[in-house]
Amino acid sequence: MVYPGAVHSRFEHSLGVYWLAGEAIQKLKNYQGMELGIDRFDIQTVKIAGLLHDVGHGPFSHLFEREFLPLVMSGSKWHDMSVKMVDHIVDEHHIEIDPEMLKRVKEMIVASTTHALPKGMKEKLFLYDIVANGRNGIDVDKFDYIVRDCRACGLGCNFQFQRLMETMRVMGDEICYRTKDYLTIHKMFATRADLYRTVYTHPKVKAIELMIVDALVKANDYLQISSYIHDPREYWKLDDTIIKTIETAPDQSLSESRDLILRIRRRELYQFCNEYAVPKDKIEHFKKVTAHDIVCSQDYESDEKFTIPDDRISHLLPTSYQDMIVGVIAEAFENFQLKTYGIKAQVHATPEKKKRRL
């Protein structure tokens, strides 16, 4: 499985963010300590928040939260488990920690997932920019996983976060960077976009993700996977080894799930047929495409001749750093594009050999 920050282990990533968070706040203290009032309490709080910011992730991280749970929770809303897990760890192991520090740590974790600063806090808001920055997206979480994942995947990485950490300053209670470092910041977002395109959302990766989601959904009634999210004492037991549980359990109820996992092992993956870049003017109000949408477009035909302009191929221009890509396995998808957007904007046409196979 591959997702942001998880080409390696999440434990390594958490330690990396812990270390970088400590280094970042220490540098700010060295440069502006008296002016900012940074003390030992602040340093410890930021480092602990860095260590624990991902502690509430389930198996396969965002896949579990964004893909699996919405299919099995029947309208219930998922709330990040990190805060509950922090309380559970403190209570279970009788950890002595300043109540105010614990409160701040949990606020920083919530801010990292909701991209919102805590209400009522009027000073040292810059501390919430360090671990996961909801104001501009420049934070040590990205510093760690971008460099780490590039190295793990054998990709080149010319983004040097050390340069940003050496020159950052707090202005107006917000961490700011020198104007001449804009290229370094550009490289950070460009490298992240490249990772998404070539690694995190690679067709083979997405095929495996879809198969794992299907396997978990089919296994949910028997294993009651989704029930674990209601109790931290049970939730901590839920990790990526759930796949091994499905593979080795003899119960017939898991046969479909086992078959899917076996197909993944044998590289008999779902076939990727097509994709298109959602037009920029449609992204803000984008509605998730369903199988029903595709099927209902089966009879839509057009003989219109057209060319594909540059902005239909990719949005990765200097002012934009992400694509919204929809990939499906159905020939009717082209008709859906024409019906919905008035264009056939797929980047890659379905090969004739695959069309014959479908």
Which of the residues are catalytic? 79
**What string of DSSP letters covers 161-221?**
HHHHHHH-EEETTEEE--GGGHHHHHHHHHHHHHHIIIIIT-HHHHHHHHHHHHHHHHHHH
Tell me which residue of 215, 148, 181 sits closest to 3, measured CA to CA. Answer: 148
Question: How far is 23 from 21, CA to CA, in rounded Å?
Answer: 5
**What string of DSSP letters covers 285-348?**
T-----HHHHHTTTT----------HHHH---STT-----EEEES-TTHHHHHHHHHSS--BSS
- The one-character DSSP state at 8 is S
- The one-character DSSP state at 120 is T
Tell me which residue of 185, 183, 247, 188 sits closest to 219, measured CA to CA. Answer: 247
Tell me which residue of 254, 276, 261, 259 sits closest to 328, measured CA to CA. Answer: 276
Element (H, E) at 274: strand 274-277
Tokens encoding 254:
């898991």
Question: How far is 358 from 354, CA to CA, in rounded Å?
Answer: 6
Question: How far is 206 from 202, CA to CA, in rounded Å?
Answer: 6
Query: Residue for token digits 């920050």?
Result: 5
